[in-house]
Amino acid sequence: MWIALAAVCAAVMVSLGLTQPASAADWPNVGTGATGADVGTAQYLLRSHGHDIAADSDFGSATKAAVVAFQESKGYAADGVIGAETWPGLVVTVREGDSGDAVAAAQTALNKHGHGLEVDGEFGPGTASAVTSFQSSKGLPSDGVVGPDTWQSLVGQGGDGGGEGCAVPSEPDPEVLRVVYRTAVELGVSDKVLLAGFEAGVVESNMNNLDCGDRDSLGVFQQRPSQGWGTPEQIMDVSYASNAFFTPAIKVAADNPGYTAGQVAQAVQISAYPDRYDAVEGTALELIERARELG
């Protein structure tokens, strides 16, 4: 019901001139030597078309051979580069209830934009929530369906957390998990504040210490030197960055006992997309357990 209502409202707002539909992002050119989320997305999509290759986010000779074979099967120019002609034929529309490599491709693409999903190939409620959140943030109809326009926006733009051209790894960094958790324990944070920290880390970097981001954002929480979070060197120190997040989060949680963990995270991060934090609660809880095991 909410998804349908959101889609209707978005359409009405466009028709009244209150907002503008998103302009289409350019399809990226992805070829030999490329790495990152767009490559992983393409590999999963190739797998969904029957090409038995690894989805390792590294465009090597096996991926090129699969691309050439796919292009030949479609009558495209068989140059081994996934560009404006190949992407539209490669993408597969997926929605809640679907499963398989095309869903894994969508999850990989969503993670580039900071959604922190488990890439399990199962299009469940968590993936649906990430899709509608992404669509809303890009001015697309929030129908929860990853169709051609959503695919083009997913692969044609840099991630919100990682910034234009900054690839967010599909797996969290165990050392980052360990340090963020250890810092929280040393500060004696509550379970809610701990969850807020992991939700923020999942959304902003998929718990990776990124050396790039939107504008001057850096690190696991994508903190900005220009906004007073510290020097670049300090922000890239995971322990420092974690302290910088948890210290104000402790006060926010104490002053606002009714806040969810996501609302605590939002109060610290002041994101343009506040609903993303609570949307990754399940992933964050799983990573907290993994961090406990790491010690």
Query: Do 69 and 213 reside in the same domain of the chain?
Result: no
Query: Do 123 and 80 reside in the same domain of the chain?
Result: yes
Summarised one tens digit per residue, pLDDT across range 180-192 is: 999 999 999 999 9
Is 167 inside a domain boundary?
no
Contacts of 59 (CB under 8 A, 6+ apart): 30, 31, 32, 33, 34, 35, 39, 42
The predicted structure's pLDDT at residue 158: 53
Query: Do 9 and 134 reside in the same domain of the chain?
Result: yes
The predicted structure's pLDDT at residue 20: 35
Average pLDDT for the chain: 86
Summarised one tens digit per residue, pLDDT across range 141-169 is: 999 999 999 999 898 755 444 444 466 78
Apex CA 53: angle with CA 48 and CA 58, to 5°?
A: 110
Is 164 inside a domain boundary?
no
More confident residue, 234 or 34: 234
Domain containing residue 109: CATH number: 1.10.101.10
Helix/strand/coil for 72? helix
Q: Identify the bridge partners of residue 30 per DSSP, sorted by sequence position.
A: 82
Q: What are phi and psi of 81, to 5 degrees?
A: -115, 130
The predicted structure's pLDDT at residue 166: 61
Query: Do 27 and 106 reside in the same domain of the chain?
Result: yes
Residue range 209-235: average pLDDT? 89
Summarised one tens digit per residue, pLDDT across range 77-119 is: 999 999 999 999 999 999 999 999 999 999 999 988 778 788 9
Query: Do 9 and 149 reside in the same domain of the chain?
Result: yes
Quote the number of domains for the chain: 2
Domain of 63, in residue numbers = 2-156
Is 98 inside a domain boundary?
yes
Query: Do 92 and 46 reside in the same domain of the chain?
Result: yes
Residue 92 is encoded by which pair of tokens? 């597969």
pLDDT of 12 > 50? The answer is: no
More confident residue, 3 or 130: 130
**Residue pointed to by tokens 């490599």:** 101
Residue range 26-51: average pLDDT? 89
Residue range 56-72: average pLDDT? 93
The predicted structure's pLDDT at residue 157: 59
Residue range 13-32: average pLDDT? 55
